[in-house]
Amino acid sequence: MKRIGAQLSPPGLLFAVTGLALLQAPFLSLAPNRIALGEGVTLWRLTDGAATASCVLAILAGFALGLLRSRPALRLAGAVLGLIGLLGLVVISAPALLEGAGEYARVSPAAGFWGLLVVMTLLLADSLTQFRPRPLTRALLLALGLGAVAIFLRSDGISQLSVMQEYAARSDAFMTATRRHLALAFGSLGAAAVIGFPLGILCHRKVRLRGAVLPVLSFLQTIPSLAMFGIMIPILGWVAANVPGASEAGIAGIGFTPAFFALLLYSLLPVVSNTVAGLASTPAAAREAARGMGMTTGQRLMRVELPLGLPVLLAGLRIVLVQNIGLAVIAGLIGGGGYGSFVFQGLNQTATDLILLGALPTVLLALVSAVVMDILVDLARPNSEKSP
């Protein structure tokens, strides 16, 4: 028994037990329309055909292979197999449930599906970490994963899911929201970098300035996000009404501008503090060698301190980007657009799938951004510090 226990993967065992429990939860939900509450349909009520049974077996096989601690390749194959079975089950079952259910009937993934999706994704990530892939390999795997997601989203089988019908009815608005969300998240990131990097360099050089700036930026982080967005409304409303040319420049009390400035204020602390930490991490021997070579202060900064501190600086940008992608959802409350507009419309209409239309791309964008920034951080490390 001890030998068998030693061969089992503890995370894989946890995933298998959790997955088996989730198999008992409602897998899909069938509702008479887009607003009414749906009736949960368990996985076992869907197993009517050979294709559906094959998908269930693929899920079970994925959990079984995930138990093999010393076989990372089989664990990875099991996670992929389980995901294929899980998604295939949705493609097969959704149209079958809608047959004879009525013109306005909607079918949506239920708690069982989302739980199994999370568990299978965690199993996939856990098996990949055993290989310790290099940055470029991780980039290739990310590209393959996004390609698989794109193929799945374009398949005919999921077009009848309620969230996809919400997208079909709002495709133009969705693209507009995507552009606005990206502008808020990446625009505030760029502005924070332009302001925060020079400010961080000054704080690193001048201890008294650091003692004044960092507490103020830390205080801004303690303000709840909804309150911060609300504070921007009267301030920028006054600016728009009293400063000549401000309104013509696009500054207003509601809309994109207050959301952008709120995100910018939240972004400054990670950028400034990581810039200070990155520059401070430069070994003293490297600084002394640079001085011995006759480098000026500016040359030491550009050729020694910034290159060596770049991983820490990029880690600060990673924090800001992931944070702002999530916080940008709240911009929908003040007319800032983005995916939050769908989330709050869905809450007002009690339309769960409209909420998902805003929430799911936000989660995907945050995950992809985190992985890309992690790759950049790893590439910026000196060769001796990079993971094998």
Question: What pTM did the predictor assign?
Answer: 0.89
Question: What is the tens place of the pLDDT at every residue in 35-88?
Answer: 878 888 888 887 667 888 899 999 999 999 999 888 889 999 999 999 999 999
The pLDDT confidence band at residue 264, using thresholds 50, 70 and 90, is very high
The 10s digit of each residue's pLDDT in 122-150 is 999 999 998 889 999 999 999 999 999 99
Answer with the residue of higher pLDDT: 34 or 339: 339
**Each residue's pLDDT tens digit, 290-325:** 888 888 888 888 888 888 889 999 999 999 999 999
Question: Is pLDDT of 384 > 50?
Answer: no
- Mean per-residue pLDDT over the chain, rounded: 88
Say which residue the tokens 């892939």 belong to.
Answer: 133
**Residue 199 is encoded by which pair of tokens?**
């400010």
Which comes out higher in pLDDT, residue 47 or 248?
248
Could you write out the DSSP letters of every residue in 302-371? IIIIHHHHHHHHHHHHHHHHHHHHHHGGGGGGGT--STHHHHHHHHHHT-HHHHHHHHHHHHHHHHHHHH
Model pLDDT, residue 373: 94
**DSSP classification of residue 155:** S
Q: What are the angstrom distances between the C-alpha of 339 and each of 148, 228, 325, 349, 360?
A: 23, 19, 10, 16, 9
Q: What are the DSSP calls for 180-205, one per residue?
A: HHHHHHHHHHHHHHHHHHHHHHHHHH
* % of the chain exceeding 70 in pLDDT: 96
| Rounded mean pLDDT, 202-206 | 91
Question: Is residue 336 within 8 Å of 183, Cβ to Cβ?
Answer: no
Q: Give the chain's domains with CATH numbers.
A: 2-152 (1.20.140), 171-385 (1.10.3720.10)
Tell which residue, 297, 321, 308, 337, has the closest CA to residue 372: 321
